[in-house]
Structure 1
Amino acid sequence: MTTDPTPPAEEQAPKSIGLLDGEGRQLAAACLAGAALGSWPAFTMGVYGVVFFEQHLSLWATATSVFLALGVSKGPRIWARPQVLALLLPSLWVVLAWILPVGGTSGIYQVLFWFGVVITVVGLPAMAAILVRLLIPGAERLRGKRALAAAIVVSLLMLVSFGLGTQHPRLLTCEDFTISGNYAPENCSPGTGSTVR
């Protein structure tokens, strides 16, 4: 009995790497959504040392709508799951902000401030991951190495965004900030902005 020493054709040819395969799409979508939502609050944290209220409220609206949609589509029992209850963290921040005084330097105010920063900077990419899984067919299979890769990419981009925010005087001028509708930070560079012609 003789055996053919050449492997079958599918073993000979290297695996084709396509840009549009399912795994690539899932990973790219997770990275894109997480970085798109997480980079702006990281940048503003670098520039101003704060996360803007629009970002808090955007996270609150997104998390609350997903929380309610899950309850409507799956029934109220779904709300007992810890990962679903985590969607209420932005609402907790809103309630605490409502109850506590708006400004101040007390310890409670500082805790509330940092709680808002953490849930927004961590919550926006996490919310992106939830939305990707809900809206892209097959994305729920993004696990293991691919999920870790997405988390690393998003974290790296947020870290770079924060770094760019701290280095804004080298990149942007005061006019760049004002023309875009943002407050010009104290240490911004004077001159004509790169977005102004």
Structure 2
Amino acid sequence: MLADGISSGHADFARRVARINSGAASSKRTLFVGVDESYVIPVNSGKAAQRGPAPAAALRNALEPLSLVLAFAIGIAAHGLAMVARFHLVGLPRVKASPDLEMLTQFVLGFLLALICARALRMRGSSQQIARSLGVVAAVLLFHNMVHLYPEAFGRVFTPLWVADVVTSTKPHSLLFRGLSFVF
């Protein structure tokens, strides 16, 4: 009895080896379940994976650079809106205000408003956070140049007194850092 079981096992094994060697069974296309069951997976079922990324993923990849530009613009706009809100809520900054404290306040308000805008637009990626932060930094350092270019528009949003103060205390086409203008 034991000899029959061993010989039948050897015969089954020999049949499997012969079937595999004949090319009828492919390890990629045939699923073997037990001794007597096997399922052949259709050849066309893997075509979607061979075509490349799905159209939605390709579109998402194509829009990534645009989202970085938008995040940078959000940072710039957030600083501008923070300046307007601060001006209308608090008024003109003190005459003897510390330039370091003024710059730090502008950074904090710009970052907070940019964070709120980004959360509302579901822009939570780390690369977008970096672009947003760079937008705020660029706006803080270069915002006064916009006042030099468009004094009438800023005079309507702020006051002509504030515009005159910015124009006289800063140089056009410059970078404002810690109260000093560096012309570029």
Higher RCO (CA-CA < 8 Å; seq separation 6+): 1
TM-score > 0.5, shorter chain as reference: no
Q: Answer with 1 or 2: which has the greater Rg.
A: 2
Greater strand fraction, Structure 1 or Structure 2: 2
TM-score (norm 1): 0.38
